[in-house]
Amino acid sequence: MFERRLKVVLTIPILGGLILIARLYRLQIVDGPQYEKRAEQSLIAPKRFLPPLRGSILDRHGKVLVSDEPTFDLSAHYGALSEDEDFLKQYAREIRRQSRHYQRMSRSDAEAEALLRVQTLYDRLAELTEASADEYFARRDAIVESVEFLRDYIWQARAGEGIEQKKEDMRLREEDRFHTLIRDLDRTFQARIEIELGDLSFFRIMPAVRRVWQTEDRSLAHMLGRIGQVSKERLEEDPRKTDWLARYRAGDLVGVSGVEYLAEDVLRGTRGYEEKNLDGDIIESVASIDGAPVRLTIDSELQQRVAEILKVAIDTESGRTGASCVILDVSTREVLAMVSVPGFDQDTFRKHYDHLRDEARTRPLLFRAIAEEYQPGSIVKPVALLAGLKHGVVTANTTYDCDGSYIDHSKHWHCWTHWKHLPGHGPMAATGAIQHSCNLYFYDLGKHVNARRLSAFYDDFIRGPGHDTSTVVRSTGLLEERDGIIPTIDWIETHRERGYTWADGCNYAIGQGEMQITPLQAANMYATLANGFYRDPTIVMGDQRERRPKPIAGISPDQWQLARRGLYLCVNEEHGTAHKKATLDNLVICGKTGSAQCVARPVKTKYVFNVEQEVPVESAQADGLTRTETVRLETVAPTLERARELLELPHDAKPDEWRVVERWPPIPEGRTTPLPHAWFAGYAPYKKPRVAMALIIEHGGSGGQVAAPIGRQVFSAILDSTHDYLGVGTPSERIAKGNDAADD
Ligand SMILES: [Zn+2]
């Protein structure tokens, strides 16, 4: 336990924080004459900050997912760590004052005693804890090295401003401070250390806090996010920087991702302060103010249940690289579950970081629900139908006769029946075209609506009418959220350097071409289909942002009903692509299946770097001379970061060439691409929709065969919840009523 924590301290980048302090270097210099007084004060009149507890993160029912617990850090004075001469003299004087035994000692003997105490600290700590003295030495050296780096930086900066001073004469504030040797000290060790070493004034056990994960559900790791050292930018932009107790200080831990970042202003607290006199009595104190809790809209039990379902689904076939599922309340757009698998374990994140980063097949660090974009495929067809109805291109009765091929003898442009060697669908009208997922009906619709009008409609439907086009639409506010690709005319001109063609309209109507959306956008699209309003989803209870429902303009109630009837038929009528796959006895589900075309991902790449290196000149006369030579370095690695590590190159080294040598998953026989991603998206109940969802199984293959049955399992898990999200009663209420919840 202890070892793990010590290593965590060791891996925190000390340099990063120090560079930050260095930038504020004018504040770092201590005037020479003041130094001695300060050193004395810091030893005998402890003055310390009291850290606040960071707010907890709870699920929608109040279950604590993450919280802070008070703990202690062990810190040592920099003078002791660096064995500074002035400090040791000062400490020797203190030793002689402290006890009669030492009063008779000569000054030099007392100084030798001071040095001995400082030098033996690490071995004594090692005896009292489970860490080795070497680990303490490593930590001590890292601290001293970083302060010396700081001294060098400041000295150069001052020299640049014409201030001349010997580097050794410059006193830094860091030299008056206590630096953390061990974070989060185990209580058993704390007691032992206090008893054994309590008389050594150059180290202290200081109050601190630690973030504790109260849930083992790995699928929550992406969403909850992490805390990390405050950056220079965050220090500068801190809204509370004028409050000397509340403001961030270099080295503070702040939310850097997920909810920890999103809710930082609520979660962070205000530090307190305490000053004691020489007898140890408190003469001044201000209590710390703890951060406030944040309650999420997530039902952590449902989240965990869905994560288990998806885990089983991807473990079934080795080529399935990951999966995601998002569940929303249709009316409030509160996210009930937002699952991304595989996930990772927060407690061992730092230790396993390299492995997690380099796991290129399954990418466990990727928050698929909001940060990965997929082709929507056929799940977008009901939205395309609404665009056709809105623009008068089709009516409820307009039919298209599907014979299986839109363009005969072409490589593409067929209905999906063509690839399965089935006859065409015959005459298709609006609802039937959705039920059967007929490509030809939608090719024709897309061609006549045209790409410009279709993508403009998608943009309103998926990102919200009148959204800000100048920035990424982060509907939940999460930093990781991406907003997909909707190939509006601006996008096509910028990224393809061309205008639209008729074929773009056909492709967009069946969710192919450039278009990509996230699982969250897919779920929200189905919530909008269910109630006719766009609304930003949220993951925070009582979200104070402006989130009014916005109507999708130009669609009549009858037209909405056509799209919804199509989704009903798709699941509940014979020949629907999800028929018998996504039905439950006591819930009427509406939905649509889809397949997203994709390519295999690179998992091993050969990187080549041409690096300038100094090499010795090989000649008897040229002893010690070097010349610059360009050396070709190459390696095969799963990520560029790994390649740089293997070749010991700087973290920003750019490769001169690279070539993919292995992709994943393998391409099945008879195909030219890997299996497509399988989608299922829908809502329930049919007549009074309460819950919408979307799920995707990467490289799952058929939406109908693979994703729809998992959709059924997800709805079944929602039905089994003790909370009545579907408005059909809780399981016990349904049993009392005779289990009759159908509403077709
Ligand atoms: Zn067809």
Task: State the pLDDT confidence band at 7, using cuts at 50, 70 and 90.
Answer: very low
Residue 441 lies in a domain: yes
Average pLDDT over residues 19-23: 46
Residues 518 and 435: their CA atoms lie apart, in Å, by 23
Closest CA to 65 of 74, 73, 56: 56
CATH number of the domain at 445, please: 3.40.710.10
Does residue 179 register a pLDDT over 80?
yes
Cα of 416 vs centre of ligand 1, distance in Å, is: 7
- Same domain for 606 and 586: no
Residues 612 and 630: their CA atoms lie apart, in Å, by 4
Distances (CA, A) of 410 to 422, 505, 506: 17, 18, 15
CATH number of the domain at 72, please: 3.90.1310.10
User: What phi and psi, each to the nearest 5 degrees, are found at residue 29?
Assistant: -85, 135
Residues in the chain: 744
Does residue 13 register a pLDDT over 50?
no
Cα of 438 vs centre of ligand 1, distance in Å, is: 4
Out of 274, 295, 316, pick the residue that ends a domain.
295
Token pair 């299922």 in the structure block, residue: 680
Cα of 400 vs centre of ligand 1, distance in Å, is: 9
Q: Which residues pair with 693 in a beta bridge?
A: 327, 682
Sequence-ordered list of residues with C-beta below 8 angstroms from that of 310, at least 6 positions apart, any chain: 219, 323, 324, 325, 339, 341, 695, 697, 710
Q: Is the dihedral of CA 272, 276, 280, 282 positive or negative?
A: negative
Task: State the pLDDT confidence band at 298, using cuts at 50, 70 and 90.
Answer: very high
Cα of 594 vs centre of ligand 1, distance in Å, is: 14
Count CB atoms within 10 A of the CB of residue 315: 11
- Same domain for 114 and 19: yes
CB 527 within 8 A of CB 475: no
Does residue 553 register a pLDDT over 50?
yes
First vs last Cα of the chain: how many Å apart? 57
What pLDDT is recorded for position 30?
54
Residue 744 lies in a domain: no
What are 194-213's pLDDT values in tens digits?
888 877 888 888 888 889 99
Task: State the pLDDT confidence band at 6, using cuts at 50, 70 and 90.
Answer: very low
What pLDDT is recorded for position 233?
84
Of all residues in the chain, what percent carry a pLDDT higher than 70? Answer: 92
Environment of ion ligand 1 (residues, CB < 5 A): 402, 415, 425, 438, 440
Among 143-157, 434-448, 470-484, 671-685, name the one with the lowest average pLDDT: 143-157
Domain holding 10, by residue range, is 2-295
Cα of 418 vs centre of ligand 1, distance in Å, is: 9
Residues 372 and 697: their CA atoms lie apart, in Å, by 13
Average pLDDT over residues 128-155: 83
User: What phi and psi, each to the nearest 5 degrees, are found at residue 254?
Assistant: -130, 165
What pLDDT is recorded for position 48?
74
Residue 388, token pair as written in the block: 């056709």
Cα of 439 vs centre of ligand 1, distance in Å, is: 5
* 218 three-state secondary structure: helix
- Same domain for 507 and 571: yes
Cα of 381 vs centre of ligand 1, distance in Å, is: 13
Residue 742 lies in a domain: no
What are 612-666's pLDDT values in tens digits?
888 787 776 666 788 888 989 999 999 999 999 999 998 899 999 999 999 999 9
- Same domain for 650 and 680: no
Cis check for the bond before 685: say yes or no (omega within 30 of 0). Answer: yes
Closest CA to 320 of 698, 706, 662, 664: 698
What are 24-46's pLDDT values in tens digits?
454 555 554 554 555 455 444 45
Count CB atoms within 10 A of the CB of residue 626: 11
Average pLDDT over residues 227-235: 84
DSSP structure class, residue 644: H
Task: State the pLDDT confidence band at 512, using cuts at 50, 70 and 90.
Answer: very high
Task: State the pLDDT confidence band at 739, using cuts at 50, 70 and 90.
Answer: low
Q: Say how far residue 103 (Cα) sits from the centre of its chain.
A: 59
HSE on the CB side for 283, CA within 13 Å? 9
Which contacts of 483-486 are long-range, i.e. CB under 8 A and separated by 24 or more positions?
483/518, 483/521, 484/373, 484/515, 484/516, 484/517, 484/518, 484/521, 485/373, 485/514, 485/515, 485/516, 486/455, 486/458, 486/459, 486/462, 486/515, 486/517
Task: State the pLDDT confidence band at 21, using cuts at 50, 70 and 90.
Answer: very low
Cα of 704 vs centre of ligand 1, distance in Å, is: 16
- Same domain for 264 and 344: no
Sequence-ordered list of residues with C-beta below 8 angstroms from that of 331, at least 6 positions apart, any chain: 531, 690
- Same domain for 233 and 196: yes
Among 100-104, 440-444, 556-560, name the one with the lowest average pLDDT: 100-104
Cα of 686 vs centre of ligand 1, distance in Å, is: 25
What pLDDT is recorded for position 12?
36
Cα of 423 vs centre of ligand 1, distance in Å, is: 9
What pLDDT is recorded for position 160?
81
- Same domain for 213 and 342: no
Residue 743 lies in a domain: no
User: What phi and psi, each to the nearest 5 degrees, are found at residue 60?
Assistant: -65, -20
What pLDDT is recorded for position 635?
96
Cα of 404 vs centre of ligand 1, distance in Å, is: 6
Distances (CA, A) of 455 to 178, 605, 627: 60, 36, 59
Q: What average pLDDT does the chain have?
A: 88
Cα of 441 vs centre of ligand 1, distance in Å, is: 7
Token pair 């064995």 in the structure block, residue: 83
Sequence-ordered list of residues with C-beta below 8 angstroms from that of 502, at least 6 positions apart, any chain: 447, 450, 451
**Counting beta carbons within 10 angstroms of the beta carbon of residue 32, is it exposed (0 to 12), middle (13 to 18) or buried (19 or more)?**
exposed
- Same domain for 526 and 380: yes
Count CB atoms within 10 A of the CB of residue 718: 25
User: 179 or 66: whose pLDDT is higher?
Assistant: 66
Does residue 128 register a pLDDT over 60?
yes
What pLDDT is recorded for position 22?
46
Does residue 113 register a pLDDT over 60?
yes
What pLDDT is recorded for position 519?
98
Cα of 485 vs centre of ligand 1, distance in Å, is: 26
Out of 622, 641, 662, pick the residue that ends a domain.
662
Does residue 461 register a pLDDT over 90?
yes
Residues 471 and 151: their CA atoms lie apart, in Å, by 42
Cα of 576 vs centre of ligand 1, distance in Å, is: 12
- Same domain for 310 and 169: no
Average pLDDT over residues 311-323: 95
Q: Which residues pair with 695 in a beta bridge?
A: 325, 680
What pLDDT is recorded for position 184?
83
Residues 150 and 482: their CA atoms lie apart, in Å, by 38
Residue 733, token pair as written in the block: 């209420």
- Three-state SS sequence of 44-99: HCCEEEECCCCCCEECCCCCEEEEEEEEEEEEEEHHHHCCCHHHHHHHHHHHHHHC
What are 395-430's pLDDT values in tens digits?
999 999 999 999 988 888 999 999 889 999 999 999
Q: Which residues pair with 549 in a beta bridge?
A: none
Token pair 């000062």 in the structure block, residue: 90
Cα of 338 vs centre of ligand 1, distance in Å, is: 34
Residue 718, token pair as written in the block: 């929602």
- Same domain for 186 and 314: no
Cis check for the bond before 602: say yes or no (omega within 30 of 0). Answer: no
- Same domain for 429 and 329: yes
Average pLDDT over residues 211-219: 89
- Same domain for 436 and 310: yes
Cα of 237 vs centre of ligand 1, distance in Å, is: 56
Residues 268 and 246: their CA atoms lie apart, in Å, by 9
CB 456 within 8 A of CB 416: no
Out of 295, 324, 341, pick the residue that ends a domain.
295
Per the structure, how many domains does the chain have? 3
Cα of 417 vs centre of ligand 1, distance in Å, is: 7
